[in-house]
Amino acid sequence: MNVVIQLERVTRTYALGATTVQALRGVSLQIRSGEFVAILGASGSGKSTLMNLIGCLDRPTAGHYFLDGVDVAKLDHDQLADIRNEKIGFVFQSFNLLTRTSALQNVELPALYSSSRISASLRRNRAREALELVGLAGRAHHHPNQLSGGEQQRVAIARAIANQPSVLLADEPTGNLDSRTSAEIMTVFQSLNQRGITIVMVTHELDIARFAKRNVFMRDGLVRKDELVAAPLDSRAELARWNQAEQTEPQLVLTP
């Protein structure tokens, strides 16, 4: 499998007044096509900074970052925007959908900003397909405020994959969701991953990370541990277990 993301001794320092903060102190990381990686770490470990770098929202202070073989550090604002548009799909903790805009229009957004002219009909079709993939075909014309949290996150995932990116980047995708909905989102991720989409997910929840195939642990701006998950959890099996538990639970509640 070819390498999609290649980080070489990447550092990132922020100037905070007189002091400088070293968020990343030389991270080297290689992610191949088709992987499902969870990046774990406490807040302040540098995982969000790493995420922004991988997402081409930011550039490294030193070191190299190759995305699909292209050195991102040398690119200007517009080129970075094009890379974000074509090669990266973002999923955020707070969904970040445009309010008062239908699910379908939200998913159409990446095609709207594509540098290659995409016709309106093709744009619409792609958006519909993406919504179908996340199981929301019937909710295309709902607005975010008419959707549940899990549904909103699925719209966000559909938007992230609408332009068929090389990498799906998820920043705490289940942070605002309950455990059951989190498992549902993981189902979506795992099925997309089976279709060959590379997924990099930042989380601080260990049980969410166990759905991924590989876990990268960050601390103090460095990668401390990088291991393959021996037996990733199957989200479908987990959901089935949840359902069973729910069926028995009410009886437990009713009997004093």
Partner 1 sequence: MTALNASRIALHALGRNKLRSALTALGIIIGVGSLIALLAIGHGARAEVEKQVASLGENVIQVSAGSITKSAAKLGLGSSGALTVEDAEALKEEIPDAIAVSPEVKIKTQVVAGNRNWSTEIYGNSPEYFRIRQWATSAGEIFTEQDVRGATKVAVIGQMAADQLFDEDEDPIGELIRIRGVPFKVVGVLAVKGASASGSDQDDSIIIPHTTAIRHLIGKQTGLRRIYVQAASLDVLPTVEKKVGELLRQRHHIETGSDDDFKVRSQLEIAESATATARTMTVLLSLIAGVSLVVGGIGIMNIMLVSVTERTREIGIRMAIGAHRRDIMRQFLIEAVTLSALGGVIGIACGTGAAKMLATLAQWPTLISPDAVLIAFVFSAVVGIFFGYYPARKASRLDPIEALRYE
Q: Which of 22, 28, 57, 61 binds partner 1 (CB under 8 A)?
A: 57
Beta pairing partners, 38: 201, 215
Q: Which of 6, 85, 187, 203 binds partner 1 (CB under 8 A)?
A: 85
Q: Does 98 bind partner 1 (CB under 8 A)?
A: yes
Separation of alpha carbons 24 and 198, rounded Å: 23
Closer by beta carbon to partner 1, 74 or else 117: 117
Residue 98 tokens read as 């445009």
**Does residue 106 contact residue 86 with C-beta atoms inside 8 Å?**
no
**Does residue 10 contact residue 65 with C-beta atoms inside 8 Å?**
yes
Q: Does 84 bind partner 1 (CB under 8 A)?
A: yes
Closer by beta carbon to partner 1, 85 or else 198: 85
10 Å CB burial of residue 172 (0-12, 13-18, 19+) is buried
Q: Does 77 bind partner 1 (CB under 8 A)?
A: yes
Q: Does 65 bind partner 1 (CB under 8 A)?
A: no
Minimum distance, C-beta of residue 151 to partner 1, in the bound complex (Å): 18
Residue 4 parent element (H or E): strand 3-16
Residues 10-29 that bind partner 1 (CB under 8 A): none
Minimum distance, C-beta of residue 212 to partner 1, in the bound complex (Å): 22
Q: Does 58 bind partner 1 (CB under 8 A)?
A: yes
Minimum distance, C-beta of residue 133 to partner 1, in the bound complex (Å): 18
The angle at the Cα of 180, spanning 177 to 186, to the nearest 5 degrees, equals 80
Going by C-alpha positions, the residue among 222, 228, 183, 187 that lies closest to residue 205 is 183
Closer by beta carbon to partner 1, 58 or else 207: 58
Q: Does 61 bind partner 1 (CB under 8 A)?
A: no
Q: Which long-range contacts (CB under 8 A, 24 or more apart) does 234-238 make?
A: 234/190, 235/183, 235/184, 235/186, 235/187, 235/189, 235/190, 235/211, 236/187, 236/190, 238/183, 238/186
Q: Which of 90, 189, 211, 217 binds partner 1 (CB under 8 A)?
A: 90
Residues 161-190 that bind partner 1 (CB under 8 A): 163
DSSP 82-105: HHHHHHEEEE-TT--PPTTS-HHH
Residue 37 tokens read as 């990686």
Applying CB under 8 A, the span of 29-37, 81-89, 186-194, 243-251 interacting with partner 1 comes to: 81-89
Q: Does 130 bind partner 1 (CB under 8 A)?
A: no
Binding stretches for partner 1 (CB under 8 A): 52, 55, 57-58, 77-78, 81-82, 84-86, 90, 92, 96-98, 100-101, 109-110, 112-114, 117, 159, 163
